[in-house]
């Protein structure tokens, strides 16, 4: 993808890039597991990222940031076709909902066929902005999506329908 920043992987295992405006982004994947209907643990990744400094005054829109993050997500699903990942928007600064809206737009531009499943609306109202990403052509998509909702319902029990975006 053109018009993006150069990405490096540190020995610590996270990816980083620095913008033209002096922000350094850190992106990492951590491993967890979902619960399937048999109570077994199913491996899943979680994507996290943030930038330093955390507080930015007079922020300017930088499309290269979006392109770079999307490149990492594209590479993840290109190289790990059977895997899925969870993304939870940070709410520590009160902008969790804004991040969710932004990410809802971004993921549609990923260069691989992926689908996003959001946590239930009642959970979002409680401040949880979690989404599950998986390739559309993953033959076990339904299995993983079911495990995702089973797992997050342990945190916020609810009875709503799945939300596919």
Partner 1 sequence: MKNEKIHIAPNSEKPYNLIRHILEDKKRIQEAIEKGVPLSSLKGINFVKPVQY
Residue 42 binding partner 1, by CB under 8 A: yes
| Member of 19, 75, 99, 106 binding partner 1 (CB under 8 A) | 75
Give the 3-state secondary structure of 42-65: EEEEEEEEEEECCCCCCCCCCHHH
Helix (H) or strand (E) holding 73: helix 63-79
Residue 130 binding partner 1, by CB under 8 A: yes
> For the packed helices 96-106 and 63-79, what is the interaxial angle rounded to 10 degrees?
70
CB of 141 to partner 1, least distance (A): 11
Residue 112 binding partner 1, by CB under 8 A: no
CB of 80 to partner 1, least distance (A): 5
Beta carbon nearer to partner 1, 21 or 155: 155
Structure letter (DSSP) for residue 90: -
Burial category of 87 from C-beta neighbours within 10 Å (exposed 0-12, middle 13-18, buried 19 and up):
buried
Residues found near partner 1 in the complex (CB under 8 A):
7-9, 12-15, 26, 28-38, 40-43, 45-46, 48, 50, 52, 54, 72, 75-76, 79-80, 82-83, 86, 88, 90, 92, 128, 130, 139-140, 143, 151-152, 154-156
């Amino acid at each position: 993808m053109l018009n993006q920043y150069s990405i490096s992987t540190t020995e610590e295992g996270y990816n980083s890039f620095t913008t033209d405006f002096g922000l350094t982004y850190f992106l990492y994947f951590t491993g967890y597991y979902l619960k399937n209907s048999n109570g077994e643990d199913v491996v899943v990744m979680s994507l996290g990222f943030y930038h330093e400094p955390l507080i930015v005054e007079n922020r300017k829109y930088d499309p290269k940031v979006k392109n770079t993050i999307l490149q990492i997500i594209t590479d993840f699903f290109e190289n790990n076709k059977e895997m899925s990942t969870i993304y939870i928007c940070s709410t520590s600064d009160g902008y969790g909902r804004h991040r969710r809206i932004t990410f809802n737009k971004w993921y549609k531009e990923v260069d691989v066929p992926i689908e996003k499943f959001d946590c239930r609306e009642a959970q979002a109202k409680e401040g949880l902005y979690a989404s599950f990403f998986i390739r559309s052509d993953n033959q076990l998509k339904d299995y993983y999506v079911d495990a995702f909702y089973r797992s997050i319902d342990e945190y916020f029990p609810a009875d709503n329908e799945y939300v596919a975006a």
